[in-house]
Amino acid sequence: MRLDGLVGVVTGAGRGLGRGCALALADAGAEVVLVSRTQAELDRLAGEIRGRGGKARTLVCDVLDAGQVGERIGGLARIDVLVNNAGMNIPEPFVDVTEDHLDRILNLNVRAAFVVAQAAARRMIAGGRGGSIIQMSSQMGHVGAPNRTVYCMTKHAIEGLTKAMAVELAQHKVRVNAIGPTFILTPLTRPFFESKAFSDYALANISLGRLGEVEDVMGAIVFLASPAAALITGASLTIDGGWTAH
């Protein structure tokens, strides 16, 4: 499960799950291209990776801008691994979802994810070495939940995209898989769990009885990126403590 000599790209790398995924790839030996809109966050993470003996480059890119994605991500000399991580959620009742919120979530979670995956796949095909694309889905790509109708819709879309890409890109030795984490404690999600009602709801549905940590996702990223998963494509690996087993 080593990634020495490979180049991995991580979108939304500046914080949370993206940061953890980038650290995981770098610790496994990959040179990591860190992608987000915020140079300062990327610089901090790149410094941390280099301090651990890893290799990292920064790439400021707004994944909502297809032109930037094509020029900056599509313009990289080599991509062996993509962690297609950038995403968002605005929890609210279905009947209260505004057109603005609907468009914002769809544009980032589906349209931008598609455009980034397409740019990376083109580079992998051109390189002739194959590759591994890992889509950041969610347990909500397999189930429904209150106050998450748009998010669930987008993550179900990512699951379908993953399967279709896997079938089409197999001829180029490009593997495409998804991971589906449960609620992961990050600086952005931690405030949600200050609500006892929400925390109780989440824990009641996680069979293992605890919330996820970023470290729980890191091993799955390295596995799916590595030769250890050489015959795995079109799969969805849930990291959900048993949520979707109910």
What residues are labeled active site?
151, 155
Determine contact, residues 4/31, Cβ cutoff 8 Å: no
d(CA 97, CA 193): 22
Question: Which sign, positive or negative, has the C-alpha torsion 134, 135, 141, 146?
Answer: positive
* Tokens of residue 193, six digits: 């769990």
Determine contact, residues 136/85, Cβ cutoff 8 Å: yes
CA distances from 111 to 52, 108, 158 (A): 34, 6, 10
Measured CA angle at 225 (ends 221, 230), to 5 deg: 130
d(CA 129, CA 7): 12
Backbone angles phi, psi at 143, to 5 degrees: -135, 180
